[in-house]
Structure 1
Amino acid sequence: MDTGVVIRRGVPRGAEERVAELYWEAFGRKLGAALGPAERGRAFVAAHLHHDRGAVALAPDGRVVAVAGYQLDGRALTGGDTGDVLSAYGLLRGLPRLALLALLERTPQPGELVMDGIAVDPAHRGTGIGGLLLTEIAALAAERGCTRVRLDVIDVNPRARALYERHGFVGVHTERTPYLKRLMGFGAVTTMHRPVPAHPAGDAPGSAQERRR
């Protein structure tokens, strides 16, 4: 499929606010409870990105139109530690936010890459970009010696789940979260796995970091 975009590993310098905007548009209901209001939350995400923990889709003009974040070796696309949260929000407001962020934490198992999700500009949805990013993340996982990719999808996002299923993800466990329904907008989370085959012989790790699709 020729989408006219370039799939690139890593968030380009200078695109932090754009990536934060896309992430907030996709996951703002969930993140807003912990990092909101929106303007402040987007600024926090932009200020604490780990540039090497994402893949992006670039339009012909260089604009980021989609991003997929992942967690590996203890680092995720969206960063910020306890001190960063307390510094940004203060002690009294920061402590409850840390508790909410802890509910969203997912620690990879050995040999596992955990995806943080895919955010696509509304104008570019339905063009196959999400699938291209999933393929890129799977290739990266193989190069890093991972045996599977894991992600979580919430019950109010059936479109995302359908995308993941089309690309080989299988639901393995659903956790009911009625206590988060009013706060974050979802009442269940399904964990999905996609096995990662061994990297093909002759296709060395560290292959092309940028691909035109």
Structure 2
Amino acid sequence: MSGARGADDRPVVRRGVPEGGEERVAALYWEAFGRKIAPALNPPGKGRAFIATHLHRDRSVTALAAGRVVGVAGYRLDGRALTGGGVKDVLSAYGSCRGLPRLVLLALLERTPAAGELVMDGIAVDAAHRGRGIGSLLLREVAAVAADHGCRRVRLDVVDTNPRARALYERHGFTAHRTERTPWLRGLMGFGAVTTMHRPVTDTHADADATSGREAR
């Protein structure tokens, strides 16, 4: 039947961004979080290129269908996150005058893990592949990564304009820890509150790959 998905189109989860997948991951991130990061990295083409150039490929979990990246979850651990690029990189890409205010905006989005904590920085899934459980696969694998690194919990932030993401996180055991009201950011970045959520990590998460559909490493 036309349009039917074959077995080779079934999502498979793996750790890391596959070589050559940087631009695809940057495009997915921009699609999911463009409203939030655009003030710091606009115009879109340049912002996507900046993200792709400075990715830390080993700080992510990706979902592939027919060999193509269709979902990604980034995280920060041991001082490194999926999305990179330091002060010099921003100033080199945007210039001193335009780069300095962008650095201030990027600093607002920084989240530093506490001891024993893995911090997620969001999930992005291709619109054509939503509703197939990819977000759940990615979350389970991130929990397994946290367990493998001896972390006690996973932390993430979800904005008030993304109730679907919050519902997904709650289904996977995340609970709200605190909510920070940020009305001054609504006009600039599109959200007026950020809720921090936690999920404890147990030994069972280390075996999550048994049911996640992940490729053997």
TM value normalised by structure 1: 0.93
Alignment equivalent of 2:15, drawn from 1, 9, 26: 9
**Residue in 2 that maps onto 1:40:** 46
Distance 1:200 1:102 in 2: 31
Q: 1:13-162 counterparts in 2 under 5 A?
A: 13-60=19-66, 62-162=67-167
Distance 2:133 2:213 in 1: 17
Give the drift of 1:37: 1.0
- The answer to whether the Cα contact below 8 Å between 1:145 and 1:198 also exists between their aligned partners in 2 is no
Give the drift of 1:92: 0.1
Distance 1:77 1:123 in 2: 23
Distance 2:117 2:188 in 1: 29
Structure 1, unpaired ranges of 5+: none
Distance 1:165 1:174 in 2: 15
RMSD: 1.9
- The answer to whether the Cα contact below 8 Å between 1:143 and 1:199 also exists between their aligned partners in 2 is no
**Aligned partner letter, 2:154:** V
Give the drift of 1:198: 2.8
Q: Between Structure 1 and Structure 2, which shows a larger proportion of helix residues?
A: 2
**Residue in 1 that maps onto 2:180:** 175
Structure 2, unpaired ranges of 5+: 1-6
Deviations 1:90-128 (A, max 9, x none): 000000000000100100000000001000000111110
Q: Secondary structure at the match of 2:73?
A: strand
Whether 1:198 and 2:203 are equivalent positions in the alignment is: yes
Q: How many residues align?
A: 206
Give the drift of 1:167: 0.4
Q: Secondary structure at the match of 1:56?
A: strand
Distance 2:62 2:168 in 1: 17
Distance 2:62 2:12 in 1: 8
